[in-house]
Structure 1
Amino acid sequence: MLRALLIGNGETPDAAFLKSLAARADLILAADGGADRALAGGLTPDVIIGDLDSVSPAAKKRVSPENLIFVDNQNNTDLEKALDWLVKRGCKACTLTGFSGGRWDFTLGNFLSVYPYAQKMDLTFAGPGWNFYPVQKNRRFACRPNARVSLIPLKNCTGVTLKGLKYPLKNARLKLGGTGLTLSNITTGKTFGVEMKSGFLFVYAED
């Protein structure tokens, strides 16, 4: 299974964290200026993709011409361009970092823009000490015991069942904006699971 690390041009974790993510990836992509963030953290991306308006000339020279991919489409973001490229190549798991921080509109826009892709691959927004998982299907997660977990429904969700958490749910219905049942849960072991019949939510988990 192809596992990708996608690095954006937002606030980027330190070099040690980036390298820990890269060690679990088969392919390192940079979304436009994320290439400079990757290089600053000691990583050389395999592919740079986007409209290439923010990546430096020096970073462009670090990849072969065929792996410097210009996508001339102003109707989607560099994040979406990169995810489209990964979907076409059959990628089933992608960790995203450098897509939060700074302007809130960019952060929220990045998080919400992955909605069409969450059915096609397992996605994880990763930062030091935390992960955000967009979920539209049954999914199981590795974790440490006693880690905080919260669910944030972004659509009405049906048939939600939680396993491996201190406060389980079974076949519950969650409403958009309703988090009373789903904030600050606690893991009980090294894995936990979220099952759902329909909907879209984010799972926040401490690392």
Structure 2
Amino acid sequence: MSSHHIVRDDQEPALIIANGAACSQELLGQLLEWSPFVVVLDSAIERVLELEIKVDVLLGDFDSGFDANYYKEIQYPLEIIHTPNQDKTDLEKAFDFLIERNFPAVNVVWATGKRADHTITNITSIAKFRNQLKIVLFDDHSKIHLLPQKFQKWYTKNTVISLIPIGAVHGIHSVNLFYPLQNDSLTIGYRTGSSNHVTEDGLITIEHSKGDLLLMECWD
């Protein structure tokens, strides 16, 4: 893994590396090429350094015995952000940090897998940042993001699309999905739109009137 990433303009997304299951080096390399700014959560720093990735910010609550300044010497220049607030996860604190720095968007890796509680919390917590930060979570099998009330994108036939509500979502309409939704409601734990797929090459349209709806582009 390269020790450098390409610096582009301020409109490019930052990259957060959390501490879930690692993704492939190919995916991580692709994201690093488009990320001008890399934030690593403290619990993942050793794994990241093994990959020789240049880190811009090390962020976390720095539990007892964690010597953040040690990494500052290794990764100079490295910004150390201490976030002791126990009412938020480290990933949420990283989102807050990027919002304060006026980043418009962020890609996130290593946020899924390993502990199920962390995975569920990391995925669902992006809803609270809807109006402040565009967030996309990646792993080797999925791309996850929150939908605006009207979403359109071109896909190839048979692309797997899962629609997962956070809580309840109402007034859902779709175009060009194999299992159509027509003024439907989805509720987590009761009915979701998992494992739908694109009917034909072309635009899909997904609209909803109320609630937070996640789109997951999935592949095996």
TM-score class, shorter-chain normalisation, is 0.7 to 0.9
- The partner residue of 1:62 within 50, 75, 81 is 75
Shift in Å, 1:140:
4.1
Q: Distance in 2 between matches of 1:173 and 1:127?
A: 27
What's the Cα RMSD here? 2.6
Match of 1:152 in 2: 164
CA distance 1:49–1:142, shift in 2 (3 Å)? farther
Larger Cα-atom Rg: 2
Q: Between Structure 1 and Structure 2, how many residues are aligned?
A: 205
TM-score normalised according to structure 2 size:
0.79
CA contact (8 A) 1:19 1:43 kept: no
CA contact (8 A) 1:96 1:123 kept: yes
- The partner residue of 1:3 within 1, 13, 19 is 13
Q: Distance in 2 between matches of 1:22 and 1:195?
A: 32
Match of 1:48 in 2: 58
CA contact (8 A) 2:154 2:201 kept: no
Q: Distance in 2 between matches of 1:4 and 1:69?
A: 16
Q: Secondary structure at the match of 1:183?
A: strand
Question: Which structure 1 segments of 5+ residues have no match?
Answer: none
CA contact (8 A) 2:106 2:134 kept: yes
Identity between Structure 1 and Structure 2 (%): 26
Say yes or no: does 1:34 pair with 2:44. yes
Q: Secondary structure at the match of 1:37?
A: helix
List per-residue Cα deviations over 1:7-54 (Å, max 9, x = no partner). 001211132221111122232211222333333334212222122336
Q: Distance in 2 between matches of 1:93 and 1:142?
A: 21
CA distance 1:193–1:116, shift in 2 (3 Å)? same
Match of 2:3 in 1: none
CA contact (8 A) 1:136 1:199 kept: no
CA distance 1:73–1:40, shift in 2 (3 Å)? same
Deviates further, 157-166 or 2-11: 157-166
CA distance 1:89–1:195, shift in 2 (3 Å)? farther
CA contact (8 A) 2:162 2:218 kept: no
Say yes or no: does 1:130 pair with 2:130. no
